Amino acid sequence: MSKLEIQGIRSPVGDNIFWFIIDSNKNGILVDPGEDKPIVNYIKSNGLMPDSIILTHDHPDHTNGILPITNEFHCPVIGPENENIESITQAFTEGDSFERMGAKFEVLSLPGHSPDHIGFIVNDEHFFCGDVIFGGGCGIVPEGSYDIMFDSLQKCKELSPAIKLYWGHEYTAANLLFATQVEPDNVDLVKRLKLAQENIATNKFDAPGTLAEELKTNPFLRTDQPGVIAAAEQKHGGKLSTPYEVFAVLRKWRSGG
Ligand SMILES: [Zn+2]
């Protein structure tokens, strides 16, 4: 298995993180290039050779850089089946796997945030989860897709706790602040929030995080925990009988509902 280095840069105009998977020969796979200029600058200033682009879903803040980048570097574009991305050259879905730069990529179907959202597990160790899981939170979900997103999050919970998560946006401190409204007595959460706030002050990422850490602190992965259930029931104003119902209340609450 090839040794990989993973680097991320933050969008200069938004909160997206653009990830680069880099091998020892400076070939690079670009993950969800939502802009071209900062990514092309990074490629040139680090002497990278783009091997390919991989995409988790079709939202413009993850895809806007594809055309200018492929016009300049002519690399394949790998992404989900059925999403609205014209430039895809190879489409994958649940259970598919492929190799790039000597590394093994496994594809997980994770719908909810978008209908055909996928995630990529690289060498059993790195999980590019797009807008499904964020540090301390999860992606927004259109009305009618809450159950689908809940199932995708349950699927992520089954992965190895040691797996590293590379999310598509850095919202960690804001998510954890919300999480402390849900679970004010969760000691791990309070500690993590403090660290995330320090990271903002020093301009550091919270990503990658581990699934183990999310399982201890991310309320959207803790919808079976008594404290989370109690907080959601209080917000809802009545009994909730399943973790899915708890999830739906939390997701609306997080969006201000
Ligand atoms: Zn998105």
Distance 16 CA to ligand 1 centre (A): 10
Tell me the DSSP string of 34-69.
--SHHHHHHHHHTT-EEEEEE-S---HHHHTTHHHH
Nearest to 130 by CA among 97, 248, 138, 100: 138
Q: Which amino acid is at 100?
A: R
Q: Which two tokens stand for residue 176?
A: 């954890």
Residue among 116, 137, 24, 6 at smallest CA distance from 62: 116
Is the domain spanning 1-131 CATH 3.60.15.10? The answer is yes
178 token code pair: 């919300």
Give Cα 110 distance to the centre of its chain.
11
Reading the block at residue 80, the tokens are 């989900």
Residues 6+ apart with CB under 8 A from 212: 161, 162
- Between the CA of 113 and the centroid of ligand 1 the distance, in Å, is 7
Task: Sketch the domain layout of the chain as residue ranges.
Answer: 1-131
Q: How far is the CA of 58 from the centre of ligand 1 (A)?
A: 7
What's the confidence (pLDDT) of residue 236? 98
CA of 131 to the centre of ligand 1 (A): 5
What pLDDT is stored for residue 99 in this prediction? 97
Task: Please give the backbone phi and psi of residue 56, each rounded to the nearest 5 degrees, phi first.
Answer: -90, -30
Specify the pLDDT at position 125.
97
Query: How close is the Cα of 59 to the center of ligand 1, in Å?
Result: 5
Question: How far is the centre of ligand 1, averaged over its atoms, from the C-alpha of 226 (Å)?
Answer: 30
The number of residues in the chain equals: 257
Which portions of the chain are predicted below pLDDT 50?
none
Distance 17 CA to ligand 1 centre (A): 12
Going from the Cα of 142 to the center of ligand 1, the distance in angstroms, rounded, reads 11
> Percentages helix, strand, coil for the chain, rounded to the nearest 5?
35, 25, 40
C-alpha Rg value of the chain to the nearest Å: 18
pLDDT value of residue 85:
86
pLDDT score at 143:
86
E strand spans, the chain: 5-10, 17-22, 27-31, 49-54, 77-80, 90-92, 97-100, 103-109, 118-122, 126-130, 133-134, 137-138, 164-167, 209-210
Q: In angstroms, what CA-CA distances link 75 with 60, 100, 185, 219, 250?
A: 19, 12, 49, 39, 40
Tell how far the Cα of 119 is from the centroid of ligand 1, in angstroms.
12
